[in-house]
């Protein structure tokens, strides 16, 4: 009943919750009704053909999630005792990481531990950090800086940012361009605030003494692919991961402008106060063993 309640509350829809839980819609509805009837309290308002949480439902949602997190922790401990034969691991990752860097590591982990189910959820850096903080994810992978005293952050890889424009853009013929010139002269397509890609770009502007207000931002889009497509269509310029831009560059739809931009780091986030599962430790060990490390300086 708790799993059904949380699924319905998060989706505000009984049918979609039932589909996510692989159960009949009638069974999901019955579970919610049984929970409300058993304790004599209304958790949802039925508004037209939709539903919404009551105040009691909103308060109970936090406790229900906490119970499910503890149940998940117990399940993970049993999986550890069984030697990673079975169990699950909840992972959240920001878009660039989830789409371009993490999949090969998840495949390798799945081949090594076929009995462990990995549940991957994609969000921006702020959403991933919040999921780890709240216990919805055991580990999270992000591109941007995270300020949270309860979360630990460790570097797992690096990524190169590039400035790209459409092949027919005036900057495509520029032999040299400074960051200040680019910021003041161009029109920009950027990810939404809170994304790792945007946060790193904003930090580079701040380091150069360029306020974000100097940029003429024509579009803010919620995915890397949408940003790339808009720039390929001639909308303006953007700064994105080289791994996101490579398909457009190879197809001749994008041009990489010669501008030195900082590398950024991919980080893994974990909660200081939660015991790491064997599955999480195994995944991170696999990543560490297969990710090249930069040569030491000196």
DSSP string, 43-73: -EEEETTEEEE-HHHHHHHHHHHHHHHHHHH
The beta-strand segments (E) located in 7-138 are 44-47, 50-53, 87-93, 116-122
User: Quick one: how far is CA 130 from the chain centroid?
Assistant: 10
Q: How many helices (H) and strands (E) does the chain have?
A: 12, 11
Residue 101: predicted pLDDT: 92
For residue range 116-140, what is the model confidence (pLDDT) as tens digits?
Answer: 889 999 988 889 999 999 888 999 9
- Categorize the per-residue pLDDT at 164 as very low, low, confident or very high, splitting at 50, 70 and 90: very high
Residue 293: predicted pLDDT: 55
Q: What is the mean pLDDT of the chain?
A: 87
Report the distance separating Cα 163 and Cα 205, nearest Å: 13
User: What does the pLDDT average to over 3-27?
Assistant: 88
Residues of the chain with pLDDT > 90, as a percent, come to: 43
- Whose structure tokens read 């969000």? 123
Comparing CA positions, the residue from 262, 246, 259 lying closest to residue 171 is 259
Structure tokens belonging to residue 233: 């269509």
Residue 88: predicted pLDDT: 82
For residue range 170-179, what is the model confidence (pLDDT) as tens digits?
Answer: 998 877 788 8
The residues with which 266 forms a beta bridge, in sequence order, are 157
Gap between the terminal Cα atoms of the chain: 60
For residue range 258-292, what is the model confidence (pLDDT) as tens digits?
Answer: 888 888 889 999 999 888 888 899 999 999 988 76
- Whose structure tokens read 């995915």? 223
What's the burial of 25, exposed, middle or buried (CB within 10 Å: 0-12/13-18/19+)? middle
- 178 SS3 class: coil
CA-based angle 235:236:241, to the nearest 5? 110
Report the distance separating Cα 162 and Cα 242, nearest Å: 6
For residue range 207-235, what is the model confidence (pLDDT) as tens digits?
Answer: 999 988 889 999 999 888 999 999 999 99
Residue 141 is classified by DSSP as E
């Amino acid at each position: 009943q708790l799993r059904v309640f949380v699924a319905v509350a998060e989706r505000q829809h009984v049918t979609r919750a039932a589909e996510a839980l692989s159960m009949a819609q009638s069974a999901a509805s019955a579970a919610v009704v049984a929970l409300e009837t058993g304790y004599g309290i209304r958790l949802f308002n039925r508004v037209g053909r939709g539903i919404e949480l009551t105040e009691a439902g909103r308060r109970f949602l936090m406790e229900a999630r906490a119970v499910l997190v503890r149940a998940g922790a117990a399940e993970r401990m049993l999986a550890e005792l069984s030697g990673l034969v079975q169990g699950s691991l909840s992972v959240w990752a920001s878009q660039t990481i989830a789409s371009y860097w993490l999949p090969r590591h998840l495949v390798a982990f799945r081949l090594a531990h076929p009995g462990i189910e990995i549940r991957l959820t994609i969000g921006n850096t702020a959403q991933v950090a919040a999921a780890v903080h709240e216990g919805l994810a055991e580990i999270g992978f992000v591109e941007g800086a995270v300020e949270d005293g309860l979360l630990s952050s460790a570097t797992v890889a690096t990524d190169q940012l590039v400035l790209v424009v459409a092949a027919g853009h005036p900057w495509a013929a520029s032999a040299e361009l400074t960051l200040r010139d680019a910021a003041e002269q161009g029109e920009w397509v950027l990810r939404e605030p809170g994304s790792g890609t945007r946060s790193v770009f904003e930090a580079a502007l701040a380091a150069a003494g360029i306020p974000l207000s100097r940029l003429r931002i024509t579009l803010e889009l919620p995915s890397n692919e949408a940003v790339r497509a808009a720039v390929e269509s001639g909308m303006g310029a953007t700064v994105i991961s080289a791994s996101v831009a490579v398909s457009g560059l190879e197809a001749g739809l994008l041009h990489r402008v010669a501008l030195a931009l900082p590398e950024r780091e991919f980080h893994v986030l974990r909660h200081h106060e939660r015991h790491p599962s064997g599955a999480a430790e195994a995944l991170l060990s696999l990543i560490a063993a297969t990710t090249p490390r930069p040569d030491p300086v000196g």
